[in-house]
Structure 1
Amino acid sequence: MGYQKHFLIILISLVLTRIISGSEAPGSLVIASHCTSECGGIAIPYPFGIGEGCYYKEKDDLSSSMSITCNHTFNPPKPILGTNIQILNISLKEAEIHLNNKISFKCDKSDNSSYLSYSRINLRTFTISSSKNKFVATGCDTFAWFKGKRYGKNYSTGCMTTCNELNDVANDGRCNGVGCCQASIPDGVTNLKTKAYSYNHHIGVEFNPCSVAYPVANDAFKFSKQNLTQNLSYYLNDRPKFPVVYNWGIGTKNCSEAEKEGSRLCKNNTECINLTHEQQGLDGYRCDCKEGYSGNPYLPQGCQDIDECKENNGGCDKKAHCKNTDGGYNCECLKGYHGNGKGADGCISSNTSLKPVIITAGIGGSIVILLVVGFLLHWINGERRIKKLRESFFRQNGGLILHQKLSSMDALKIFTTQDLEIATDKYNEMNIIGRGGYGIVYKGIIPNNQLVAIKRSLKVDPGQVEQFINEILILSQINNRNVVRLLGCCLETEVPLLVYEYINNGTLYDHLNDEAKAPLFTWNIRLRIASEVAQVLSYLHTTISTPVIHRDMKSMNILLDECYTAKVADFGASRLVPVDQEPLATMVLGTLGYLDPEYMQTSELTEKSDVYSFGVVLVELLTSKKALSYQRPEVERCLAMHFLLKMKEDRLFDIIDKNIANSQGDIEQIKKVANLAKWCLFLKGEDRPTMKEVATELEGIKTMNKHPWQDPKSSFDQENDCEHILRGIPKDDDGSSGGYSGKDSDLYKRPGFISSLGGGR
């Protein structure tokens, strides 16, 4: 008996020691008495806290992102996260924290000096909310970057904005790309860093000396012209900040894993929710009170029952008594009454005679009949409204004009909304085969069992309907085997739907950047693809009646069929250019890494912009490298600039893809294509060749290794021998037995061309 008493005393002592020391597993923590629940009037609920023992911390962690400092040097005091990030609000229900974020800016002074300040928030365990924030940049000579980590990999996005004078800027607070631009933020981004830059040091827009960029909560931003006229002293002295919404979670395990480990914080009357959707960049879970309960779900005691009967009798009928229950309440009718005290009819007298019951039943039956009739009328009226809406969209998107212009030709099919809903299984996400800046592409099957690609384009400006129709007509009439064929369109929806032939072998970008595919992607195939794409651009610029500038030429917009035949796609950014029209002044569109520097600087779009972009594609074909990659060192980040540097240093073969550089018979062709690429990448558009000249030169380079007696219809690169390509055994040309005996073309006779470009080595 004495031993038992002694053992009991020891056991109680051990339990008390563990509670006092706080060494229990997370979730059984007893909040210390010294913990405060607010700072400067802002609530600091657990799992956040001020001071040791007051916040949640993973076992064995030396620090915690939930630890908050109350800085009393301010009046009133300010809650601070990390080193200097001010907290504005913490939401347990939404698992969100609102932080005050400094802006990034670059200001140019009159003495040609500049001041650059960037913003950085390193919060590894918090992700910025994609639905409640946006990235904004303001200025008239501005481009800005938003960078971070997304699922463990580097991520970046950005936008640009230019304007010539303050009157160009909208006066109604719109952020429309003139003086202000904005970009969406994806889910799962942590460790934010924003930077603002200028293209021309704000020369010519002295009224706007500063470029500014920052992420901001959707409801906390409204653009104003005044944003453009602030100078450096304003940003240095006032140090503007904007609220940003972040998501947070508990721990690094999901609900079931934390439950097995015994560390889950969600206790009585709570539910555990795994982090999903825009919180996917986080590990862990969050807690919430069950319906009918309130309080802090992260505290050991869990959530407490809400007494709904305390106020206004719980909303019960006047002839009912409210009775609180655990997690809910009941409305019990008083004596002499029956029914549902919570319902709309409330409690009714138990002495009700049969006649009122019959009357009530008759009225109820009449109401049911009226409801059914009303529903049928509403359904019929709804069908009419839908039909009228489709007709309205059809007219808005130029359907009547299109029908009129197609009446004399069989060039394009007009699909209905039902046709394309059936083809895509109601636009099932499983059928998405591509996303881009100009729409989403779905794979579908139309009634004749033909595979098609269906593109949901961006909204068409009603003022540009005529131009949109002209573009559809031109694409439908293009008769070029190397352009993805437009089969038809649907104009009954708010945004037009375009139906293209389906190309089944991916993009040029896929093949160049796939380590398994690149070795089979021989020089002959690459040279043929380059020639085919050049012929298409030359055709668009010079052959058709109204020239077309593609404006987004890149390897991702060059599709390949099973025989590696090139198919140029995605004319969503293209512009029609009448022959006698001056250069187009447009908002700069395209893809970074391929954009013409002169076009970016002047906003004037010409055919030479396509030439520059095609030059980048040529460099991709030569190197099998991405046009822009933040995984590479800074000097190699932009492929075009890195390529030109290697050409200048006469070290071409340091950058050429080893899969093609080892073939001695192709060396001269590779050098000539490299020189042609460099010509296309000249800074000034007037110094670049036309696409017709480029196409001619590539045809000449292709014939270099042909025997003079070789049949011109037979191609050295298997244009007519698809079987070899499908086997993965491309046929090699034997340049050793004959070789190119002709002279260089006119391109290489241009004064200073060879000496200025360098031949590589």
Structure 2
Amino acid sequence: MLPMHLLLFFIFAIVLQSVVRGASSLPHPGCPDKCGDVDIVYPFGIGPGCAMEEGFELHCNKSQDGQRNVTYFSNLPVADISLLQGHVRVMSHIASMCHNWSTTYLLDFRGTPFTVSEKENLFTVIGADTLALMAGSRQSAIYVIGCLTQSSPYLAAQEGLCTGVGCCQVALSSSLSYHNISFSDANASDMDGERQCRYAMVVEANKFSFHTAYLNATTFWDEHRGEVPMILNWSVGNETCDVAQNDTASYACRSSNSYCINSTSHSGYLCNCSEGYQGNPYLPGDGGCQDINECALSTPPCPGRCINTQGGFYCQNTKNQSFSHSGAAIISVGLSVTVVTLVIAITCSYLIRERRKLANIKEKYFRQHGGLLLLEQISSGQGTTFTIFTEAELMEATDQFDEKNVLGRGGHGTVYKGTLKNGSAVAIKRCISMTDEQRKKEFGKEMLILSQVNHKNIVKLLGCCLEVEVPMLVYEFIPNGTLFHFIHGSNGSHNIPFSTRLRIAHESALALDYLHSCASPPILHGDVKSSNILLDNNYSAKVSDFGASIVAPTDESQFVTLVQGTCGYLDPEYMQTCQLTDKSDVYSFGVVLLELITGKKALNLEGPESERSLSMRFLCAMKEGRLVDVIDDHIKGEENDGLLEEVADLARQCLEMAGENRPAMRDVAERLDRLRKVMQHPWMQRDPEEMESLLGVREPAVAGVEMVSTMFVMEKSVGLLEFGR
């Protein structure tokens, strides 16, 4: 009997522990429910034991003038909290640059349940000729958004309109957990007058209105006291509803009359009260979701006597016959049998009209995006390998664009893996938006040009879908992921030999040279980076994502006015002029070259400020003669030193500040080709001392450089002898 008693005691202890654990996350009695004008609702709380978890803790402090209490999240004042929508409105700081003072703004929500809402906020810049940038991140993805205002004697800023003159706005590319706002390198001393200022901020779209008085005075700062409203998304937990509901101890929807909703903007979920109930779904019992007394509403739900029930109500007619609101619905359906034929006829007519309307919309988009031109050219024999897909085909290929098929997300759209009916795997890029009307008209023509691109180191564009508002692009599927993950992934760069890195660099340079020199008209990539270089089954480089917006402009009117790209790879000359050239791709390729020889990321927001930019760190090391400090330790060696110096010198030339001083991609490809041939030559396998004796190298300090120079001469000589044969 004793073992049985011990077993029962053990089971009781486990049950008691689970009950205590489940109740430990509930707020303690006496927690404040209000601070200033803000209602504090659980899972948020003020004080120990009042919030559901650490990320939901708020603080109640006196305002700066000491006249009232203010609710704070971190150092941000809270205006209100919405349980239903999963929003918190906070007062965010404004980045500013004036004649004699300036402020920047950094916001970091990493490790908390909060992100900046991409749907509710806009990145906004105020001022004359002002370029402001916002670098942000979500999980491991890094985004950069730029906004450039203009001023002109022919254009004047308009009251209430933020359209680019004196004021510009850009939508956020994702719900960010971190962002940093700063201005370009323009000197504040070039402002007209001491009271002229420039401002940049993330602001709730519905709470901002532009006034021309903001341009020539500090009115904007004075009105808002350096703060503007911003919407944050929040959610509980890190799981979906299906997973969270299986753990009753940690499941946050405590009310018995509540249900779970997956968050659309953040990992985790939200809770809501069931129909017929209202209150706080995160609390059990009387503090949670309570029945709505429909009969006490200002407008009664039924003409007779109303009797309230849990989650609903009953109606009683004048003959004292009672029936529920669900019974009333059944009676209504029964009465509608007499007109069922009419209802069916109306429904069918409506569906036919909607189907025709949808077909007309698809035809409109198809014509608008140049579909007729594409069909004409394909039928005439041009672009015969190019396919025009329907929306239904691509939805079937991606299982209705299911999240499980997402290959990657970027500032311009989302890429999905799909399987066509013939079984072939493809990558489908679903773009975010296309606002330029001229681009829409030229899209079909540009698709025809891109369909002719045929190079072994460029991802093949197989087709597109034109019957949607924003066209979708279909590429061949490349299985081994991106160069970024190859270098910086879990395995790191220690398994990648120098010869493989040199080959990938050469193949990528050949692809860009083809786009610049062999395509007609020339094609500018515009976003060269390691995550846009894919690796096939043999780990050969395939340049991707050269998209639909990169056919070289033929006049100044086609130059973009909004700087877009990836922070860390952006050409500084492009950021100043907003004019994309082939030398912009050369600069970005130089950064990729640095990633290959250093094994480091192009941008490291978590490091010291002096080491955040890989290109700046590399150029400083080159200038100070410290190249060995930045080269990847795994590829250092006597047989590689000379070649590494040559590659580093080539990267330095690509990173010249002035585009005219950078080499063309053809020169870059040819130089990398020569370096590969030198590395593949049998003498590279000889003993270093034997190599020094063979080539007459005497001074170790310059042995690597002399060796490579001699190799180039000998390599050219061998080439001449072979040609003579």
The interval holding the TM-score normalised by the smaller chain is: 0.7 to 0.9
Contact 2:459 2:543 in 1 (8 A): yes
Relative distance call for 1:223 and 1:25 in structure 2 (3 A) is same
* CA drift at 1:550: 1.2
Residue matched to 2:313: 329
| Larger CA deviation: 472-481 vs 458-467 | 458-467
For 1:80-479, list aligned pairs within 5 A: 80-81=71-72, 85-94=76-85, 96-107=87-98, 109=99, 113-116=100-103, 118=105, 127-128=114-115, 130=117, 131-139=119-127, 140-145=129-134, 158-165=145-152, 167=155, 173-174=161-162, 179-184=167-172, 186-187=174-175, 189=177, 194-202=180-188, 206=192, 209-231=196-218, 235=221, 239-246=225-232, 260=249, 266=254, 271=258, 276-278=263-265, 280=267, 291-294=275-278, 298=283, 301-302=286-287, 304-311=290-297, 314-317=300-303, 320-335=304-319, 364-411=336-383, 412-460=386-434, 461-479=436-454
* CA drift at 1:678: 0.7
Relative distance call for 1:277 and 1:476 in structure 2 (3 A) is closer
Q: What is the alpha-carbon distance in structure 1 between the residues aligned to residue 101 and residue 463 of structure 2? A: 53
In structure 2, the residue corresponding to 1:330 is in which secondary structure? strand
Relative distance call for 1:126 and 1:211 in structure 2 (3 A) is farther
- Could you tell me the TM-score, scaled by structure 2's length? 0.78
Contact 2:370 2:445 in 1 (8 A): no
Residue matched to 1:560: 535
For 1:653-668, list aligned pairs within 5 A: 653-662=628-637, 664-668=638-642
Contact 2:63 2:69 in 1 (8 A): yes
Partner deviation per Cα, 1:594-617 (whole Å, 9 max, x = no partner): 111111112222211111111111
Instruction: Compare CA radii of gyration and give the structure with the larger one.
Output: 1
Q: As a proportion of its length, which structure holds more helix? A: 2
Residue matched to 1:5: none
Q: Residue 79 of structure 1 aligns to which amino acid in structure 2?
A: V
Q: Residue 105 of structure 1 aligns to which amino acid in structure 2?
A: S
Provide structure 1 residue ranges, at least 5 long, that are not aligned to the other structure: 1-23, 349-359, 711-715, 717-731, 747-761
Q: What is the alpha-carbon distance in structure 1 between the residues aligned to residue 228 and residue 301 of structure 2? A: 42
Relative distance call for 1:240 and 1:515 in structure 2 (3 A) is closer
Q: Residue 56 of structure 1 aligns to which amino acid in structure 2?
A: C
Q: What is the alpha-carbon distance in structure 1 between the residues aligned to residue 83 and residue 163 of structure 2? A: 32
Q: What is the alpha-carbon distance in structure 1 between the residues aligned to residue 142 and residue 391 of structure 2? A: 37
Relative distance call for 1:620 and 1:422 in structure 2 (3 A) is same
Over the matched positions of the two proteins, sequence identity in percent amounts to 35
Contact 2:263 2:270 in 1 (8 A): no
Partner deviation per Cα, 1:166-186 (whole Å, 9 max, x = no partner): 837676634669842334275
Residue from 551, 555, 568 that aligns with 1:593: 568
Q: Residue 99 of structure 1 aligns to which amino acid in structure 2?
A: V
RMSD (Å) for aligned C-alpha atoms: 4.4
* CA drift at 1:90: 3.8
Residue matched to 2:717: none
* CA drift at 1:275: 8.2
Q: What is the alpha-carbon distance in structure 1 between the residues aligned to residue 606 and residue 371 of structure 2? A: 47
Q: Residue 346 of structure 2 aligns to which amino acid in structure 1?
A: G
Residue matched to 2:582: 607
* CA drift at 1:398: 0.5
Q: What is the alpha-carbon distance in structure 2 between the residues aligned to residue 221 and residue 88 of structure 1? A: 16
Relative distance call for 1:470 and 1:308 in structure 2 (3 A) is closer
Q: What is the alpha-carbon distance in structure 2 between the residues aligned to residue 371 and residue 277 of structure 1? A: 36
Q: What is the alpha-carbon distance in structure 2 between the residues aligned to residue 57 and residue 343 of structure 1? A: 43
Partner deviation per Cα, 1:310-337 (whole Å, 9 max, x = no partner): 34683223xx322223443211233275
Relative distance call for 1:156 and 1:312 in structure 2 (3 A) is closer
Relative distance call for 1:667 and 1:427 in structure 2 (3 A) is same
Partner deviation per Cα, 1:83-141 (whole Å, 9 max, x = no partner): 9754433445556543333322222x2xxx43325476889866245244444343432
Q: Residue 65 of structure 1 aligns to which amino acid in structure 2?
A: E
Partner deviation per Cα, 1:660-681 (whole Å, 9 max, x = no partner): 213x333222211111111111
* CA drift at 1:683: 0.8
In structure 2, the residue corresponding to 1:180 is in which secondary structure? strand
- Could you tell me the TM-score, scaled by structure 1's length? 0.75
Contact 1:504 1:560 in 2 (8 A): yes
Q: Residue 514 of structure 1 aligns to which amino acid in structure 2?
A: G
Relative distance call for 1:522 and 1:465 in structure 2 (3 A) is same
Relative distance call for 1:649 and 1:26 in structure 2 (3 A) is closer
Partner deviation per Cα, 1:10-40 (whole Å, 9 max, x = no partner): xxxxxxxxxxxxxx967484449xx7x6566
Residue matched to 2:594: 619
Q: Residue 184 of structure 1 aligns to which amino acid in structure 2?
A: L
In structure 1, the residue corresponding to 2:427 is in which secondary structure? strand
Q: What is the alpha-carbon distance in structure 2 between the residues aligned to residue 683 and residue 540 of structure 1? A: 23
Q: What is the alpha-carbon distance in structure 2 between the residues aligned to residue 530 and residue 625 of structure 1? A: 15
Partner deviation per Cα, 1:382-401 (whole Å, 9 max, x = no partner): 33222222211110111112
In structure 1, the residue corresponding to 2:447 is in which secondary structure? helix
In structure 1, the residue corresponding to 2:57 is in which secondary structure? coil
Q: What is the alpha-carbon distance in structure 2 between the residues aligned to residue 256 and residue 423 of structure 1? A: 32
Residue from 513, 520, 529 that aligns with 1:545: 520
Residue matched to 1:17: none
Relative distance call for 1:701 and 1:225 in structure 2 (3 A) is farther
* CA drift at 1:515: 5.1
Provide structure 2 residue ranges, at least 5 long, that are not aligned to the other structure: 1-22, 696-706, 714-725
Relative distance call for 1:296 and 1:437 in structure 2 (3 A) is closer
Q: What is the alpha-carbon distance in structure 2 between the residues aligned to residue 583 and residue 397 of structure 1? A: 18
Partner deviation per Cα, 1:432-489 (whole Å, 9 max, x = no partner): 2122222222222223322222222343433223432332122211232111112222
Q: Residue 671 of structure 1 aligns to which amino acid in structure 2?
A: E
Q: Residue 402 of structure 1 aligns to which amino acid in structure 2?
A: L
Aligned residues: 665
For 1:12-91, list aligned pairs within 5 A: 27=26, 29-31=28-30, 43=39, 56=50, 65-69=57-61, 77-81=68-72, 85-91=76-82
Q: What is the alpha-carbon distance in structure 1 between the residues aligned to residue 503 and residue 373 of structure 2? A: 39
Q: What is the alpha-carbon distance in structure 2 between the residues aligned to residue 681 and residue 333 of structure 1? A: 84
Q: What is the alpha-carbon distance in structure 2 between the residues aligned to residue 46 and residue 621 of structure 1? A: 50
Q: What is the alpha-carbon distance in structure 2 between the residues aligned to residue 683 and residue 528 of structure 1? A: 26
For 1:651-730, list aligned pairs within 5 A: 651-662=626-637, 664-705=638-679, 707=681
Partner deviation per Cα, 1:694-738 (whole Å, 9 max, x = no partner): 222222222224559x9xxxxx9xxxxxxxxxxxxxxx7999778
Residue matched to 1:18: none
Q: Residue 216 of structure 1 aligns to which amino acid in structure 2?
A: V
Contact 2:483 2:530 in 1 (8 A): yes
Q: What is the alpha-carbon distance in structure 2 between the residues aligned to residue 519 and residue 49 of structure 1? A: 48
Q: Residue 209 of structure 2 aligns to which amino acid in structure 1?
A: K
Residue 524 in structure 1 maps to residue 518 in structure 2: no
Relative distance call for 1:573 and 1:201 in structure 2 (3 A) is farther
